[in-house]
A and B are shown apart, each in its own frame.
Chain A
């Protein structure tokens, strides 16, 4: 069945139903309350012009608003939307810039950290090298000093021994002279001394 045909049937049914409902509510048909005193008087059937006046007032209100209010409201809302969108764009751009700056700063910070770490490593290495060289120089100086001291001690010891030998020879010579009751000449003395020293040195070495 075509839609228009169906609509015609349905419309006819609506009209019939409306007619029945209207007859049921129409006082003239004896089916409802009166419209005058009591009953449904609060409906004020007589003031049907109120509906027309409402339509006129509301229609005029719509026209006035259509002419004087909505264009401005629409314009204002569009501008506000543009401002909000612009502000949003700017905020997003600013945030992006901040992100970029932050990333750059982070990179610089990381580079600086690397540099600091490298400097510290280098300083540590230099310090180690310096400590090692200082230690080596100190050891070298100490060895030289020890050698020098050793030599001085040996020289002092040799001198002391020689002095002791001389005094021992003098004493022995004096004792021998007294024993032999005769004077030993200077040449004898020197020959005895040399001989004694040689023996003494030989004895010390052995």
Chain B
């Protein structure tokens, strides 16, 4: 816990990170305590999987006969599938292998998207604000990327794709540079996946934390437990600060909504691109 402005202890990440309870209007004591080993992220990870699974199974049943889509939900889910196919899988992996990776990429995109969207509902957490969740998803991406590369090129061939071709007159310089560059390339293979995890986690955590902080301005001027010195005896500050905070949160929430989709897209698209690069490395 941190101390803000020398007042009561608050943790700006408390509402964003994982916990063993789901707090709904904490001030009136609406808190759902979860039995161990459950945590709210575990619950919402499970819920995200159920929502994605149910949606895709439902739409699969509808699509089975080859009928054209009807209704908003069917159209919406199908358009997401086709979005992944046409804007992520095919441009990233390549036309030839795209359909093979479409199930994984679709599940990855929708799973991350739903996890991100949870955070947009009041009282609900976004599981992707945990480095372990995004790290696990990045591990899946890492495995798929490199297994695909090995299967396409063979182990030796795939490892060879990381080694740059450097032509220098001096053999010492040539081998030194080649080893150094190859080491960096191998390191990059890991770093790429780590960056996938960190980017998604950091965006989700930072976004929701900012929303919390801006709303917390209201408490900083109105709640005696957290009130800053400037606001003492200045009751009139409550309204302008509240209006400002709420308006800012509305605007930033819209931005956060966009970021929820954008980060799901970025994670999945980069995974697709890395798969494509692993299977068909540039020469």
Contacts and interface: CB of A to CB of B under 8 A. Distances in A.
A75 B180 CA distance: 49
A180 interface: no
B87 interface: no
A28 interface: no
B167 to A, nearest CB: 14
Interface in A37-63: 37-38, 41-44, 47-55, 57-58, 60-62
A61 B132 contact: no
A69 B41 contact: no
A186 interface: no
A109 interface: no
Interface string B187-199: 1001000000000
A90 B177 CA distance: 62
B224 interface: no
B140 interface: yes
Q: Is the interface of B mostly helix, strand, loop or mixed?
A: helix
A66 interface: yes
- Contact-residue size bin, chain B (C-beta under 8 Å from the other chain): 35 or more
A9 B45 contact: no
B178 interface: yes
Given A54-B45, A62-B107, A17 B187 contact: yes
B2 A38 contact: yes
B60 A73 contact: yes
A191 interface: no
Interface in B47-104: 48-49, 52-53, 56-57, 59-68, 81, 103-104
Given A44-B17, A65-B57, A73 B81 contact: yes
Contacts of B46: 57
Contact of A47 (B2, B81, B132): B132
A23 to B, nearest CB: 16
Contacts of A7: 159-160, 162-163, 182, 186
Contacts of A119: none
B190 A61 contact: no
Contact of A64 (B11, B53, B205): B53
A7 B58 CA distance: 47
A60 B63 contact: no
B248 interface: no
B65 A76 contact: yes
B1 A10 contact: no
B175 interface: yes
Contacts of B52: 61, 65
A21 to B, nearest CB: 10
Interface string B31-54: 000000101011001101100110
B68 A80 contact: yes
Given A7-B182, A76-B60, A82-B66, A55 B190 contact: no
A76 B205 CA distance: 39
Interface of B: 1-2, 11, 13, 16-18, 37, 39, 41-42, 45-46, 48-49, 52-53, 56-57, 59-68, 81, 103-104, 107-108, 111, 127, 130-133, 135-137, 139-140, 156, 159-160, 162-163, 175, 178-180, 182-183, 185-187, 190, 205
Given A48-B132, A62-B103, 12 more contacts: A3-B160, A10-B182, A10-B183, A44-B18, A47-B39, A51-B133, A58-B107, A60-B49, A68-B57, A73-B64, A80-B66, A80-B68
